[in-house]
Structures are given as structure tokens and as C-alpha cells.
Amino acid sequence: MHLEDRIKNGMTFYEHGHTDPIDIEQEKELEAQRRHCKEVMFDYNNTRPSENVKKKEILKGILGHCTDRVFIESPVHMSYGNHVHLGDQFYTNFNLVIIDDMDVYIGNQVMIGPNVTICTTGHPVYPLYREMGAHYSLPIHIGNKVWIGANSVVLPGVTIGENSVIGAGSIVTRDIPANVVAVGNPCRVIREITERDREYYFRDMKVDFPYTLREEG
């Protein structure tokens, strides 16, 4: 099995040092894609805050999927970019890092706080394999209306269900179901999202603005 197939199938792989002609060619192609993404990220991160049209054009040119209603604060860093699929009304604060050796699927109306890392790639625990430069990559799925708090890390193969909240500083090592609040290292569910959350926005602080009464559609 060749390099690209090994990556797609979640198997261990090496980025460099292949001897098979097909693997060598694929290695060169992947290296060129990573280099191109770094150049594009540099361009994006050096646009002026007022250049919103240019920012969106850059994102549409590199991402696997992106709508017009996406806003990514600079700086942002990705490995390939074309493996990142963003839903509508996506927002992320400063310093998002996406290691997208494998696909990352993010739903609609997702919010991400500052200094968040989404990483599809890991290394085997056994030291000899790391000495050999072994990697593995597994896809990440983040559902609609998820909120990921500041300084969180989402690790390979994780799925986060729709509407869920990941508390700041969490390390998400396993799947999180829909409609829950989860926090910690490792990240664990601490409670469900309930009707009380419709009435109170923070501890005992009550929601008082009228448009919260709008029926959700």
C-alpha cells in the first residue's frame, strides 16, 4: 500500500525517506502541498483587518469547503488547508492551529475561542516508532453549533456532537456526545445542556434581552 493510501486509511506512515518510485512521487506532492499552504497562510495572516474580501478569496482558494459567511481571525495556521471543510457562519478567534493531514469537518454556526489546536495526526507511543518518524492521522468531526473554549486541544479521531460546549483548556481525547457541556484533561461530560441554560447565561445571571424569546427554527 502506497503513502497516500496509508494516510487515508489511518495507518502509520512516514513523510520522508521512501524508496518506492510511487511513494517518492507522492512524498514530493505532499511536501509541495504543505509548502503551498504555508505560503497561503502567510498571505492570509498578513492581510489588513479591513481586507475582508481578500481574506475570503484566500480561504476559498485553499480550504476544502468554505462559505461566504466564515470569519477567521489572524493568525491561523494549517498543514494543508484542502482537508479543512467549514460549515456556514463559522467563527474562530486568534491563533487557530489545524493539523489537517486528514480531513477536518466542522459544521454550521461553530464558534472557536483563541489558541485552539485541532490535530488529526499523532505518533505511536512506542519510542522506536517515533525514532523512525512514524505518524498516523484520523479524521475529526465537529457538529453544528459547537462552541470550543480558549486553549483547548482536539485530538485525532474525535467527534464532537452538535450544540455541545467544550470548556476552556480542555484536551479532547475521545468522542463527546451532542447537547452537553464537557471540560477537563482529559475532557469529560459534566452535564447536559437544559432549559435552564435558556434562562441563565452564566451561573445565576439571567438572560434579559428580548430576542431570546424568538422560536428556534
User: Residue 121: which of 16, 13, 2, 42 has the closest Cα?
Assistant: 13
Residue 16 designated active-site: no
Cell of 125: 507511543
β 117-119/153-154 pair status: parallel
Give yes or no for a contact between 92 and 76, defined as CB atoms under 8 angstroms apart. yes
> How long is the chain?
217
Residue from 2, 16, 65, 123 carrying the catalytic annotation: 123
AA identity, residue 217: G
Give yes or no for a contact between 174 and 186, defined as CB atoms under 8 angstroms apart. yes
Cα separations in angstroms, 137 against 28, 64, 85, 104: 19, 17, 16, 11
CB 151: neighbour CB atoms within 10 A?
Answer: 15
Catalytic residue numbers?
123
